[in-house]
């Protein structure tokens, strides 16, 4: 008997609900806000793919094209448990570029190091489910860095915000700030540019200026009982970490939440983590593996 043939195809924007249903049914982390997840998938740079076997949809992926780094992010992988061993490799590989182009040089992916589950869900945290790790390594992804997802429970209420955040942003100055600070902060990846693009499109991006120049950029998101900040890039010479920590707490208080989530923190931002730790009753940090596949 002939083996059934798997078909792989890209979804149109008016078909993303199909992919969201698949994500909800098959992923351990799924999404917390369907409208937010749909808004991400509707971005021009966001692509979704599904794979079917004998007219049954068994899995798929979502990809984000980073036009700044000339790269991609593998933002989600969803495969029915029954087919993970037999089909996940082909499902993932079929959605990635086969070779390097002028526009795409590499692909980033993020996976928890300790196997813990993503508490924020897609798309504010773009961790792939832990079972995906061994498969993408077979495809050619290699670890290139360590990031963290840090959460804080507040007991200190700072009501006077020491930083004036403005949603009237200068896109070119934001780009310059991220380029300048990404390496010392340990954020040389496409996830930070993706977060910038999504926050701009959702009107959630804010900046702070010092001396008339952008010194900090942050995406402010309210997700249920959490205040999520993504991206978060600052110039620590112009804005000290203690000042930034106090401002984030004040922003959370303003939104009437007690929890702060920083889903993508680089090793060069550890002083900010310590500053928040000193001001919060509880905190936890999960280590994440940043993987990259060169093309």
DSSP, residue by residue, 114-159: S----SS-BTTS-EEPGGGHHHHHHHT-EEEEEEEEEEEEE-----
Q: Average pLDDT in the 78-84 region?
A: 93
Instruction: Express each pLDDT in 243-271 by its tens digit.
Output: 999 999 999 999 999 999 999 999 999 99
- Better-predicted residue by pLDDT, 119 or 217: 217
pTM of the model: 0.95
Determine how β-strand 71-79 pairs with β-strand 56-66.
antiparallel
Instruction: Express each pLDDT in 17-57 by its tens digit.
Output: 999 999 999 888 889 999 999 999 999 999 999 999 888 89
**Residue ranges in the chain assigned as alpha helix (H):** 16-26, 34-41, 84-94, 133-139, 171-185, 190-201, 241-254, 270-277
Percent of the chain predicted with pLDDT > 90: 84
Q: Average pLDDT in the 228-238 region?
A: 97
DSSP 51: E
Which pLDDT does position 54 carry in this prediction? 85
Domain 152-287, CATH 3.40.630.30 — does that match? yes
Which pLDDT does position 2 carry in this prediction? 60
**In the chain, ranges of CATH 3.40.630.30 domains:** 6-147, 152-287
- Better-predicted residue by pLDDT, 100 or 239: 239
Which pLDDT does position 1 carry in this prediction? 47
6-147: CATH topology is Aminopeptidase (3.40.630)
């Amino acid at each position: 008997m002939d083996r059934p043939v798997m078909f792989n195809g890209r979804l149109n924007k008016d078909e993303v609900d199909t992919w969201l249903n698949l994500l909800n049914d098959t992923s351990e982390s799924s999404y917390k806000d369907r409208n937010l997840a749909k808004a991400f998938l509707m971005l021009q740079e966001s692509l979704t793919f599904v794979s079917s076997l004998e007219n049954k949809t068994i899995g798929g992926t979502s990809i984000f094209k980073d036009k700044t780094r000339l790269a991609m992010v593998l933002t989600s992988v969803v495969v029915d448990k029954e087919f993970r061993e037999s089909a996940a490799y082909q499902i993932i590989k079929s959605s990635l570029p086969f070779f390097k182009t002028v526009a795409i040089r590499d692909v980033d992916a993020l996976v928890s190091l300790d196997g813990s589950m993503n508490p924020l869900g897609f798309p504010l945290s773009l961790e792939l489910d832990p079972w995906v790790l061994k498969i993408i390594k077979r495809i050619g992804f290699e670890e290139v860095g360590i990031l963290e997802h840090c959460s804080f429970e507040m007991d200190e209420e700072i009501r006077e915000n020491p930083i004036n955040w403005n949603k009237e942003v200068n896109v070119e100055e934001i780009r310059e700030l991220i380029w300048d600070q990404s390496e010392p902060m340990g954020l040389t990846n496409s996830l930070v540019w993706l977060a910038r693009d999504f926050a701009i499109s959702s009107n959630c991006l804010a900046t702070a200026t010092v001396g008339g120049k952008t010194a900090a950029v942050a995406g402010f998101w309210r997700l249920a009982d959490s205040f999520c900040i993504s991206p978060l890039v600052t110039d620590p010479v112009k804005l000290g970490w203690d000042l930034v920590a106090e401002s984030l707490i004040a922003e959370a208080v303003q939104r009437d939440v007690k929890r702060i989530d920083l889903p993508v923190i680089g090793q060069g931002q550890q002083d900010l983590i310590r500053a928040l730790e000193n001001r919060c009753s509880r905190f936890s940090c999960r280590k994440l593996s940043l993987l990259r596949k060169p093309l």
